[in-house]
Homo-oligomer: A and B are copies of this chain.
Amino acid sequence: MARRYDPERRQRIIDAAIRVVGRAGIAGLSHRTVAAEADVPLGSTTYHFASLDELLVAALRQANEGFASVVRESGALTDPRCDIADELARVTGRWLAADRTGVELEYELYLAALRRPALRPVAAAWCEGVARILADRVDPVTARALVALIDGICLQVLLTGGEYDAGYTRDMLGRILARGACPEVAAGHGAVPVD
């Protein structure tokens, strides 16, 4: 009994869900685990969220902001003189190093959206969020490609257990940004022969 009239309980449950997903993955999210983590009665979670999916969407929508805010807080990107490739590579490295839990959680969102259409808008917002921040410096198409490349590089690091290589990332982002730097090659999309 006791704990009636707890207006922030709903929020506390969401926060707990984020911690649970961060720790054990979406597969580890259940009414029980989240109730235990939030220190609320089991019935409370089903009362505030009609289904687990509803809770999951609320949680992921909130957790969504990790990378975007890291990028936004990197004031450098707004400085027109900074090297975007270098700065993005650095920021990505910091993000990967700082809080692996948060990183895994955001990619878990990707995994989940694959099967749950309800999550697709949330996943789409992730991409757009980052792209919009870059919109002041690069055209939208390039921004989207930068996000895609960062995504792909991060996935390779996370999935293969490899080290993140900031120099490599900077160079590859640089290539995307440097459209036209080597006009004669880019023009024809020619292959780069190895020998």
Contacts and interface: CB of A to CB of B under 8 A. Distances in A.
Contacts of A25: 114-115
Interface stretch (A9-17, A64-72, A91-99, A138-146): A138-146
A172 to B, nearest CB: 4
Q: Which of A117, A147, A168, A175 neighbours the largest number of chain B CB atoms within 10 Å of its CB?
A: A175
Given A27-B115, A148-B153, A159-B110, A189 B176 contact: no
Interface of A is mostly: helix
A181 interface: yes
A7 interface: no
Contact of A86 (B137, B142, B189): B189
Given A27-B27, A193-B137, A120 B161 contact: yes
Interface in A125-164: 127, 135-139, 141-142, 144-145, 147-153, 155-156, 158-162
Nearest to A105: B114
Contacts of A188: 83, 167
Interface in A155-195: 155-156, 158-162, 165, 167-168, 170-182, 185-186, 188-195
Contacts of A104: 114-115
A107 interface: yes
Interface of A: 25, 27, 80, 82-86, 104, 107-108, 110-115, 117, 120, 123-124, 127, 135-139, 141-142, 144-145, 147-153, 155-156, 158-162, 165, 167-168, 170-182, 185-186, 188-195
18 contacts: A25-B114, A84-B192, A104-B114, A110-B159, A111-B114, A147-B152, A147-B156, A148-B152, A149-B172, A151-B152, A152-B155, A165-B189, A168-B190, A171-B189, A172-B176, A174-B189, A175-B179, A175-B180
